[in-house]
A = this chain, B = another copy of it.
């Protein structure tokens, strides 16, 4: 079985095996990591190691706070304007649009700043000059979605314009830890764990101290970045089991050689599929090459009537989760850190064979 799910997504094989081993041990001991206090020494040791590994892997500095929160990226969409006030949004797909829509329910002054065309390239929204707009309006932050999972658009390099003005906030739910990033560029980064960091139920937040100090006070504790930082993410009972899984995933990432090594493999994996797609008129992906995602590779058959057959035959061959999101249809291969190169090569071979039979 090869699991191409967009998220919750596959865990590294070694992590799945470690979890199975640990549950077996829990049966013998009469208790496991999911059944003990989040304030006890056993869990706190995992928590501390998890943060330490993350700091090394991502190259975080002392002025970065690491928080773990509940509620996924969708909750972050709301916490941002609640904590910081109105932001401006760079929209390259579905998730950016959702982030803005939810933010506007709390702060109607949140605005779209730039929007991507179908090829992923950014344009100013409306007729106003982008540079001028950024100078004349005041926003608490500029929000980007670094990887749009549905459209397969990834912003691995930041356009220069984004580095000026309001502090950058990035939803990195689907590409955190998959390529090197200078986290000093961002006031805040958030990521649901269920794609590159483990299982669903945990959200990583990385915040620069100077940005955190701009957050409002007097908010309800569960919705306050300041309070989560002050309590070291232990104000309430966190998702302890999901946290333990994230610790295992980070350890696995380190064993792979860290983010640089993973990025090289991720690029190789993605190019394996994009070369297959570009190598023939049979397949279609219309995202500009420099903006194509390394994490989610959406593709269509030029003859879209062949797509149900492709999906059926792929499933029969043990390749699951390849159906594209309902918004765009077609196919999508989600190939996060945990996906081995050999499995991607198997998909590429399968595509070639399918084309030979039906092209």
Contacts and interface: CB of A to CB of B under 8 A. Distances in A.
Contact of A26 (B20, B72, B239): B20
Interface string A199-227: 11110000000000000001111110000
Interface in A224-247: 235-242, 245
Contact of A74 (B32, B77, B236): B236
A49 interface: no
Nearest to A192: B237
A8 B26 contact: no
B239 A200 contact: yes
A32 B320 CA distance: 13
Contacts of A70: 70-72, 75, 201
B20 A23 contact: yes
Contacts of A298: none
Interface of A: 1-3, 5-11, 13, 16-17, 19-20, 23-24, 26-27, 29-32, 34-38, 40, 70-75, 77-78, 102, 105-106, 192, 194, 199-202, 218-223, 235-242, 245, 320-321
A222 B77 CA distance: 9
B321 A37 contact: yes
B27 A23 contact: no
Contact of A16 (B3, B27, B201, B240): B27
A163 to B, nearest CB: 29
A10 B27 contact: no
Contact of A2 (B30, B74, B77): B30
Contacts of A222: 71-72, 74-75, 77-78, 102
Question: How many copies of this chain does the complex contain?
Answer: 2
A7 B39 CA distance: 10
Contacts of A202: 201
B240 A241 contact: no
B5 A32 contact: no
Contacts of A75: 70-71, 222, 236
Given A75-B70, A102-B220, A239-B200, A19 B23 contact: yes
B3 A238 contact: no
A342 to B, nearest CB: 13
A310 B13 CA distance: 44
A174 to B, nearest CB: 11
Contacts of A201: 70, 201-202, 238-242
Contacts of A192: 237
Contacts of A218: 105
A220 B8 contact: no
A210 B29 CA distance: 47
Nearest to A101: B221
Given A27-B20, A242-B239, A38 B200 contact: yes
